[in-house]
Amino acid sequence: MTNAFWVTGPLEGGIHPATFDHYPPSAEAADDPAVEVQTLYSGISRGTEALVYTNQVPESEFLTMRAPFQEGDFPFPVKYGYANVGRVSSGPDDLLGRTVFCLFPHQTSYRLPASAVVPLPQGLPPGRAVLAANMETAINGLWDAAPRIGDRIAVVGLGVVGLLVAWLASRIPGTRVTALDTNAGRQDVAESLGLAFQTRSGQDDHDLVIHASGHPEGLQTSLQLAGMEGRIVEMSWYGAQTVPVPLGHAFHSRRLTIRSSQVGHLHPSQVPRWTYRDRMSLALELLKDDALDNLITGEGPFEALPEIMASLAGGPRIGPAFPSASETLCHRIVYNHS
């Protein structure tokens, strides 16, 4: 039997049995052998999973918000998540015993087509690989943003995705990257990645501003930071929340542009040559830098996931063993198969 974390109601969740076999009969005809995976780690994508947990997914997005191997339907009960690292316990010889990443929810074990898992590259620790979905989002955001050599870039909002975006952008020659967050507690982790941290910026000369805070006030800040003909890329997703966008002030006189970025779609210029699997493989390769361990701010056992999720969603902190929302970046879940 396999167990998974289920969202069972608004601000409610629990560990319950789940479907083990996600291998459709049609996969055999496509020469896609089955693999069985025992989960080692999963990661909580705090922003999106908190929206699911607090019942803030709008009905209009019930279909587009489905995770690849989601079980149940919104609003609940639903098995949700997409950062799973496990070991192949049964499958073809080239995958047997290998550690793989899969866009799968928080579940102890599962069976699915081999094409759904991506082997970890040599040199990437399994515990860090839970960041792969976030890195994939960051890659896609920069594809949409199209930063250029020497660009003055501001990244507003330093959750995991914002930090990864800023870190990647800072590696482009000549760029000036400013990482902004109103939470001064983000300074240490930003500086550990070599980033210039600020809680606010008086400069409004940025060529590119990437917003990833998830808060409407962050989008307003982003508009203020953009210089003449500046580009703003909105990576936040607000669920059912209505977001005011101040299009007065200098928006028109500076001829600013805003575009959205969403990881569910490849950038059109990449589509002729890139697949989703290619993008995930790139994300895993880019995670081979030890500094990125600083984005994992805590871990806990699978059995405690209901209490952990409640704490991360802003509920009362039960004790020091459980994370607080303001202090957490990525919280890693550990599975014990002994």
Report pLDDT digits (tens) over 192-239. Answer: 999 999 998 878 899 999 999 999 999 999 999 999 999 999 999 888
Coil, strand, or helix at residue 58? coil
Does the pLDDT of residue 28 top 80, yes or no? no
Residue 252 pLDDT grade (very low, low, confident, very high; cuts 50, 70, 90): very high
15 touches 42 (CB < 8 A) = no
pLDDT at 338: 61
Domains of the chain: 3-123+288-334 (3.90.180.10), 140-260 (3.40.50.720)
pLDDT at 155: 98
Q: Is the dihedral of CA 71, 72, 75, 77 positive or negative?
A: negative
pLDDT at 315: 63
pLDDT at 241: 85
Q: Look-up: residue for tokens 């879940």?
A: 333
pLDDT at 316: 56
d(CA 128, CA 295): 9
d(CA 18, CA 79): 8
Report pLDDT digits (tens) over 81-92. Answer: 999 999 999 999
Written as one string, the DSSP assignment of 97-118 is: T-EEEE---SBSEEEEEGGGEE
pLDDT at 330: 96
User: How many other CB atoms are found less than 10 A from the CB of residue 289?
Assistant: 12
Does the pLDDT of residue 322 top 90, yes or no? no
Residue 80 tokens read as 């949700």
Least confident of 227-231, 270-274, 320-324, 331-335: 320-324
pLDDT at 238: 85
Does the pLDDT of residue 169 top 80, yes or no? yes
Average model confidence (pLDDT) across the chain: 94
